[in-house]
A = this chain, B = another copy of it.
Amino acid sequence: MIDQLCKKIRETNAPIVVGLDPMLEYIPRHLLDRAYAEFGETLEGAAEAVWQYNKGIIDAVYDLIPAVKPQIAMYEQFGVEGVNVFQKTVAYCKSKGLIVIGDIKRGDIGSTSAAYATGHLGTIQIGRNRYSAFDEDFATVNPYLGSDGVKPFIDVCSQEKKGLFILVKTSNPSSGEFQDRLIDGRPLYEIVGEKVAEWGQEHMGSEYSYIGAVVGATYPEQGKVLRELMPKAFILVPGYGAQGGKGSDLVHFFREDGLGAIVNSSRGIIAAYRQPQYALFGPENYADASRKAVQDMIADIDGALQKAKN
């Protein structure tokens, strides 16, 4: 799947991923009204609105990008109905040829991580039949529990030709509270990054490892260090746009081949129509606004990468 990701990034010239992180407040009135008319102002109605909203965005942008990253929390807030829409969204994106990174940030003791890996990336035997449940292509994983919390995910990825992005240095303001603490003179995120590199070396695609890392766009200096520390790892970079990261912050996350990083934007794309520069589209045309925002993001990053080359 990591080879597929490289191929699709080259085809689209877009090292970006759209974060499908729907909040009710982002959803245009006409979609809410339609869903509530059918299912009531209920969890089911809200989930239906999210589903229609997602479909509109996916239809509008799928040809421009290699991948999407639905954040499962935004679906879990609507309970079982929301999780059902998460699953439908994953399947719909895959039917459109998109690679799906499940942003699930799971991680637990071995047997429990194995169950998460089964549910999100693997298959489960039920009587004489075998099923996949959520079936994302990649998943994000929290490393706090150490190797035996991560290994079950790696095992499933090896079998299923899927991949991981392991949290190394997250994009949020307080990520330094524990991640930046010095251990033998080096921050924890470097220690974790080294482990990611170690795990990754044994699990290689043809150019990159299928064990990648998450490093926030909001920490470009740390990104530079981590890029060198994990030469074979693809880096998933959240924090672009709404969280404050800019194209010029991102150049050090990439390798010289123009690959090695994939930059996520969520709100900045899916709720583009609510921003002043895309307001002319109006809520009815929210998906067109998202398409324009994707094109602008691609140009921003491409411009920064070209500039860095010269």
Contacts and interface: CB of A to CB of B under 8 A. Distances in A.
Contact of A128 (B41, B80, B125, B147): B41
A306 interface: no
A281 interface: no
A288 interface: no
Interface string A82-117: 111001000000000000000001111110110110
Nearest to A134: B79
A98 to B, nearest CB: 20
B76 A145 contact: no
Given A43-B126, A181-B191, A182-B183, A79 B119 contact: yes
Given A179-B144, A188-B181, A191-B181, A73 B119 contact: yes
Interface stretch (A166-174, A201-209, A228-236, A252-260): A166-174
Query: How many subunits of this chain does the assembly comprise?
Result: 2
Interface in A19-46: 21, 23-24, 32, 36, 41-43, 45-46
Contacts of A21: 112
A177 B147 contact: yes
Contacts of A106: 73, 105
A237 to B, nearest CB: 13
Contact of A36 (B124, B127, B145, B238): B127
Interface string A154-183: 000000000000010011111111110111
B172 A149 contact: yes
A127 B38 CA distance: 14
A133 B76 CA distance: 8
Interface of A: 21, 23-24, 32, 36, 41-43, 45-46, 71, 73-74, 76-80, 82-84, 87, 105-110, 112-113, 115-116, 118-120, 124-129, 131, 133-134, 142-149, 167, 170-179, 181-184, 188, 191-192, 195, 238, 243
